[in-house]
């Protein structure tokens, strides 16, 4: 473990979306100078960074200059190409490291890793051809969910295969790329746990989040999730074991399915995000230390902050046109409004969020 970064040090962020923007704001709060690398000129994180590089992830010259300019680099999304991560990681400290990224950006590697720890997931099979898809369907049954191994997000790159559906069409719909087939999980609810691991191995976790999606996009998070203390404890253990097994440094989020079997709650891991997560946005006002501060603390080699919750929390995403409600939200006492500064609105696009914290 190297010595903690001093205020004034330069922190690099790969990716320029709202997660990068909120990471940059948290880093600035601690006196760090943030350098954002992103391919899109109108990246929300550029607005709040000390330094910006606008270049493709394949631009080795720009990447090298970026990496050399920072004392530590991190990323705000898991689809950073492997070669980009390797190049940056060879020139500066990259955290979370390459192992976490390689394992968690491929759904098959990810589920195999989780299952290898003895943690429950949906049943799954790798699918590389239509023959393999037929074989996997014969084993896992229908309905089943076909997902691309890489690059999926917000339900993109997925197809549900119901009884009677043409499996070949589903494979074509996701582009015929390497895939994973998962048994359909008849979950009661969707939960997530956001946790952080420091360079010296300390772990902190927030309370479980209850998540509601609209068209596969997170719409609302509520905390507490209203599950049993045993389920809260199990989620914490799951997150800690995953973080430890990866030698992880930084914030990660574990998306979970809650099943109720014979009246007992059971958790299944759906996916792991090697980054700050939308379901953790409530921590900005709703916890003693936000997920963004925790991530910056961890990668800077600082001690972790307290994840204690300050009340009963509700976070709502402003998706698409909902952002037009900003004047009313700005006038609402106790509504903590966040706007991401995106120029273009599109249906389902994450334009901002609003958090309300009520005394517990």
Ligand X SMILES: Nc1ncnc2c1ncn2[C@@H]1O[C@H](COP(=O)(O)OP(=O)(O)O)[C@@H](O)[C@H]1O
**Closest separation between CB of residue 110 and ligand X, Å?**
10
Q: How many residues does the chain have?
A: 360
Minimal distance, residue 259 CB to ligand X, in Å: 11
Applying CB under 6 A, does 293 fall inside the site for ligand X? no
Task: Evaluate whether 178 touches 128 at the Cβ level (below 8 Å).
Answer: yes
Does residue 274 touch ligand X according to CB under 6 A?
no
Interface with Mg ion: number of residues (CB under 5 A): 1
One character per residue 254-293, x = contact with Mg ion (rule: CB under 5 A): -x--------------------------------------
260 near 90, Cβ under 8 Å? no
The residue within the footprint of ligand X, chosen from 11, 72, 87, 122 (CB under 6 A), is 122
- The minimum distance between CB 41 and ligand X, in angstroms, equals 26
Nearest to 317 by CA among 76, 19, 87, 112: 19
Among 7, 31, 128, 155, the residue binding ligand X under the rule CB under 6 A is: 155
Choice between 150 and 310, CB closer to ligand X: 150
Cβ 190 to ligand X shortest distance, Å: 6
CB closer to Mg ion out of 66 and 206: 206
- How many other CB atoms are there within 10 angstroms of residue 259's CB atom? 16
Judged by CB under 6 A, does residue 216 bind ligand X?
A: yes
Give CA angle at 24 (23, 28), nearest 5°. 120
- CA-based nearest residue to 182, from 166, 158, 150, 164: 158
3-class secondary-structure state, position 219? strand
Q: Exactly one of 151, 184, 302, 326 binds ligand X (CB under 6 A); which one?
A: 184
The nearer residue to ligand X, 53 or 270, going by C-beta atoms, is 270
To Mg ion, the closest distance from the beta carbon of 255 in angstroms equals: 5
- Listed ranges 4-12, 112-120, 152-160, 284-292: which one lies at the site for ligand X (CB under 6 A): 152-160
Q: Which is nearer to ligand X, 37 or 77 (CB)?
A: 77
Residues 6+ apart with CB under 8 A from 75: 13, 14, 15, 85, 101, 275
Asked whether 303 and 31 are in contact (CB, 8 A), the reply is no
Phi, psi of 161 (to 5 degrees): -110, 110
| Residue pair 345/351 in contact by the 8 Å Cβ criterion | yes
Stretch that binds Mg ion, among 38-46, 63-71, 202-210, 249-257 (CB under 5 A): 249-257
152 binding partner (options Mg ion, ligand X, none; Cβ < 5 to 8 Å by kind):
ligand X
Strand 33-38 to 203-205 pairing: unpaired
Site string for ligand X, 9-48 (x = CB under 6 A): ----------------------------------------
DSSP string, 268-287: EEEEEESS--GGGTTHHHHB
Distance of CA 315 to the CA centre of its chain: 16
Q: Cα-atom radius of gyration of the chain, to the nearest Å?
A: 20
Q: How far is the CB of 18 from Mg ion (least distance, A)?
A: 16
* 300 and 327 Cβ atoms separated by less than 8 Å: no
**Contact residues for ligand X (CB under 6 A)?**
122, 145, 152-155, 182, 184-185, 190, 213, 216, 255, 270-271
Binding site for Mg ion (CB under 5 A): 255
């Amino acid at each position: 473990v190297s010595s903690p970064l001093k205020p004034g040090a330069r922190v690099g962020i790969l990716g320029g979306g709202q997660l990068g923007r909120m990471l940059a704001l948290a880093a600035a709060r601690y006196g760090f100078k943030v350098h954002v690398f992103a391919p899109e000129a109108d990246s929300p994180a550029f607005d709040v960074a000390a330094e910006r590089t606008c270049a493709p992830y394949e631009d080795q010259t720009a990447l090298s200059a970026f990496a050399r300019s920072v004392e530590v680099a991190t990323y705000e999304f898991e689809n950073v190409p492997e070669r980009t991560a390797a190049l940056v990681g060879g020139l500066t400290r990259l955290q979370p490291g390459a192992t976490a990224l390689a394992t968690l950006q491929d759904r098959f590697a990810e589920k195999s890793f989780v299952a290898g720890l003895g943690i429950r997931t949906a049943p799954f099979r790798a699918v590389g051809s239509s023959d393999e898809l037929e074989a996997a369907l014969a084993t896992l049954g229908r309905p089943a969910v076909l997902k691309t191994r890489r690059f999926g997000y917000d339900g993109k790159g997925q197809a549900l295969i119901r009884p009677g559906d043409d499996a070949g069409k589903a494979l074509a719909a996701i582009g015929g790329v390497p895939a994973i087939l998962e048994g359909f999980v008849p979950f009661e609810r969707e939960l997530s746990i956001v946790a952080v691991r420091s360079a010296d191995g300390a772990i902190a976790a927030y309370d479980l989040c209850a998540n509601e999606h609209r068209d596969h996009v997170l719409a609302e998070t509520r905390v507490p999730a209203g599950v049993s203390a045993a389920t809260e404890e199990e989620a914490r253990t799951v997150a800690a074991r995953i973080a430890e097994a990866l030698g992880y440094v930084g914030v990660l989020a574990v998306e979970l399915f809650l099943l109720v079997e014979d009246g007992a709650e059971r958790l299944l891991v759906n996916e792991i995000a090697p980054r700050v997560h939308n379901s953790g946005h409530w921590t900005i006002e709703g916890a003693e230390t936000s997920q963004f501060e925790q991530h910056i603390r961890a990668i800077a080699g600082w001690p972790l902050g307290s994840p204690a919750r300050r009340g009963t929390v509700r976070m709502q995403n402003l998706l698409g046109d909902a952002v037009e409600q900003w004047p009313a939200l700005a006038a609402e006492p106790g509504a903590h409004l966040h706007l991401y500064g995106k120029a273009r609105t599109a249906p389902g696009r994450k334009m901002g969020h609003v958090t309300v914290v009520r005394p517990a």
